Amino acid sequence: MDEKESHRSGLRTSSKYFLLAVLLLIGDGCCTTPKTPTPPQNMLLRCDGQNCLRVLTWNVHGLPFKANTPERLRQIAAKIAEQQPDLVLLQEVWLGRYKRLLRSALSPDYEMAYAPRCVTRWPRGGLVVFIRRGSPWRVDRSAFEPYVASAPWYRVSEMDGLSGKGILTVQIVSDNSALRVVDTHLQSPYLGRSYYTERRKQLDELWKSLKGRKVPTLIGGDFNTYPAEPLYRTHLSRLGTDLSRQEQQDCQCGTHFDDYGGRQEWIDYVLTQNWPVESQVTRIENDSIDNPYSDHDGVLARLVYDESALRTPEVSK
């Protein structure tokens, strides 16, 4: 073999080895097992098993006349993204732009469910539910039922009579399992007006809407009712098992601030009905009113359950 032929042969051999090296690198990259994303180190409640659901209920204080509301909602969305709850039940998302802000901030990780008002398309009752797309759950259907009992509409400064508070029911499904999720916000008390009768009637309406079918149900929201009130014992507690009782006893604290910045009683709840679970509850705390998030703490719950309890033919009818 002459010198030129030997050189050409060497080039062909080198090219083959180079191509082989490239193919090996590509193949190695394709066959590499993707790493499982690790949860954030500051996650408050982690799920260690498959049959585990993390739920957050939060009154976000989305009032239209507060200048810092959009910034607070962005911080709330960032906290949700950090904690990664599977279900998020929000109250007081009053305006369409606030709904869009939250949806954009949580996209594409969360699916949104709400009932739009006829003209404005704002969330009815200020209620919005988000479902984490990375969870096994997805939205099947949703419906809104307004409360008949309410404060009078002409008390405009209180806004409750105009807000159309009610019950947002979202059915979520996963394979052969289904769960009814209820988000609600009851009448607020005001200085000189407790609206005890209106809240009692609203709890009666909520009870009647739930008692028709014995299906696994998760209930969350702002009930504006203290654990020490007779209304808690006679009406709220019959809705289901209050998962926050242990946290209430441990922290001896409340979940919201009054208009003067003082921390008040516990009024935000997560309950289960016809669904036995093991649970742990904690709060996403504010330093003061609307700082940094809202005038309410978020109530975060971890539920561990037996999957067979959710496999009921009634819930999907």
Query: What is the reported pLDDT for 222?
Result: 98
Could you tell me which residues come within 8 angstroms of residue 50 by beta carbon, excluding any fewer than 6 positions away?
A: 307
The helix (run of H) or strand (run of E) holding residue 104 is helix 96-106
Q: Both ends of the chain: CA-CA distance in Å?
A: 83
Average pLDDT of the residues of the chain: 87
**What whole-number distance in Å separates Cα of residue 183 and Cα of residue 164?**
14
Query: What is the reported pLDDT for 50?
Result: 83
Picking from 252, 246, 304, the residue whose alpha carbon sits closest to that of residue 275 is 304
Q: Is the pLDDT of residue 198 over 90?
A: yes
User: Residue 93: inside a domain, yes or no?
Assistant: yes
User: Residue 175: inside a domain, yes or no?
Assistant: yes
What integer is the mean pLDDT of 216-228? 97
- Shared domain check, 296 and 203: yes
Q: Is the pLDDT of residue 26 over 50?
A: no
**What whole-number distance in Å separates Cα of residue 310 and Cα of residue 313?**
9
Number of domains in the chain: 2
Q: Is the pLDDT of residue 75 over 90?
A: yes
- Cα→Cα distances 110→137, 225, 243, 270, Å: 11, 30, 24, 20
Query: What is the reported pLDDT for 212?
Result: 78
**What whole-number distance in Å separates Cα of residue 167 and Cα of residue 152?**
19
- Shared domain check, 25 and 66: no
- Shared domain check, 65 and 18: no
- Shared domain check, 265 and 143: yes
User: pLDDT digit string (tens) for 145-187?
Assistant: 999 999 999 998 888 988 999 999 999 999 889 999 999 999 9
Distance between alpha carbon 18 and the CA centroid of its chain, in Å? 53
What integer is the mean pLDDT of 35-58? 81
CATH code for position 202: 3.60.10.10
> For residue 252, which amino acid is it?
Q
- Shared domain check, 139 and 8: no
- Residue 26's domain comprises 1-31
Residue that is written with structure tokens 């996209």 in the block = 107
- Shared domain check, 242 and 138: yes
